[in-house]
């Protein structure tokens, strides 16, 4: 029998999305919004859960992860999070809010 980690790694991204959604929501419910210790992990799980939870739920977590990384002078991680946010924004319907968010991301990049 294959180890559980091997099974998870071989599973498609779409099939993993519900597991990421469950982890993201559980961590989010247990942590304070000001808790910076899980910001990057939380952004990862919300981004992977987009097929289940939607891009609008993931976006604030990506922006928060970027803010935390940049605040810790982890510039490469911060830029990666901002680039992920920019990619995610492209999947969202056009709106005034999307335009504001895109401008916010581009200014930070």
More reliable by pLDDT, 33 or 81: 81
Count of residues in the chain: 109
Q: What is the largest CA-CA distance in the chain?
A: 51
Distance CA 20, CA 26 (A): 10
Q: What is the pLDDT of residue 73?
A: 96
End-to-end Cα distance, the chain: 46
- Which pLDDT band holds residue 1 (cuts at 50, 70, 90)? very low
CA-nearest of 79, 84, 3, 92 to 48 is: 84
- Top-confidence range, 9-13, 28-32, 82-86: 82-86
Is 69 a residue whose pLDDT tops 60? yes
Model confidence at 3: pLDDT above 60: no
Query: For residues 66 and 85, is the Cβ–Cβ distance under 8 A?
Result: yes
Question: b/e for 23-46, b at 16 or more Cβ within 10 A?
Answer: bbbeebeeeeeeeeebbbebbbbb
């Amino acid at each position: 029998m294959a180890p559980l980690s091997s099974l998870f790694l071989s599973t498609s991204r779409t099939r993993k999305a519900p597991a990421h959604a469950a982890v993201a929501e559980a961590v989010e419910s247990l942590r304070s919004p000001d808790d910076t210790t899980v910001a990057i992990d939380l952004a990862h799980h919300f981004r992977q859960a987009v097929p289940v939870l939607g891009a609008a739920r993931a976006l604030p977590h990506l922006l928060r992860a970027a803010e935390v990384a940049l605040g810790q002078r982890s510039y490469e991680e911060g830029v990666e999070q901002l680039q992920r946010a920019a990619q995610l924004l492209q999947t969202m319907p056009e709106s005034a809010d999307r335009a504001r968010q895109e401008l916010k991301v581009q200014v930070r990049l």
